Amino acid sequence: MCVPRKDCRGFTLIELIASITIIGILSAVTVPLLTRSTPVYAERGYADGIAASLRQSRAVALASGCDVRFTITAVGYNAFQHVAGANNHCAAAGAWSTPVRRGDGHNLLETQPTGVTLTANRVFVFSGADGTVAGGPLTIQVGPQVITVEATGAVQGP
């Protein structure tokens, strides 16, 4: 207790103990929530990456006129197309030798993060003529996230 004077400043011991107790309770509740939800964010980010890469693969197929093969495995995903020759003409058959590139110039491939579950391995071939996918609709499930590739090549999902 302080009689109103000019030099009366600071906190009492009770106020400091109450503040430390409140901070301790809040941190005990919130820290486990943040660490437990990290795999959920990894799954969501990986699903978003797959959906965006599928859309880009379809766009590359339409823009180049060459078929694009997008492969998803337990290891990760990648995209290649049939392109051969100095003039980048589409190859009718053979190896999928030319990697599809992202906007930043790197190859369109990603490694699956640890702890992320993927339901099935899939191969999508986007037609260079019209962007369609044979055998659609096809689905991919990454944790609780579901991505559907329609027969038209449209990608539905996260």
Domains and CATH numbers, the chain: 38-156 (3.55.40.10)
Report the pLDDT value the prediction gives residue 3, as an integer from 0 to 100. 62
Spatial separation of the C-alpha atoms in residues 137 and 125, rounded to whole Å: 12
Q: What is the DSSP string of 115-153?
A: T--BS--EEEEE-TTT--BTT--EEEEETTEEEEE-TTS
- In the numeric block, the tokens 């339409």 are attached to 62
Which range has highest mean pLDDT (19-23, 29-33, 117-121, 128-132)? 19-23
Report the pLDDT value the prediction gives residue 142, as an integer from 0 to 100. 87
Q: Are 11 and 2 in contact (CB under 8 A)?
A: no
The predicted-structure confidence for 1-46, as pLDDT tens digits, reads as follows 556 666 667 889 999 999 999 999 999 988 877 766 677 788 888 8
- In the numeric block, the tokens 């964010």 are attached to 41
Mean pLDDT on 110-139:
83
In this structure, what DSSP letter does residue 52 have? H
Q: Residues 6 or more apart from 19 whose CB is under 8 A from it?
A: 11
The structure's pTM equals 0.72
Report the pLDDT value the prediction gives residue 95, as an integer from 0 to 100. 72
Give the number of other CB atoms < 10 A from CB of residue 118.
21
The predicted-structure confidence for 71-112, as pLDDT tens digits, reads as follows 888 888 999 987 765 566 776 666 777 888 888 888 888 888
Q: Is 94 exposed, middle or buried (0-12, 13-18, 19+ CB in 10 A)?
A: exposed
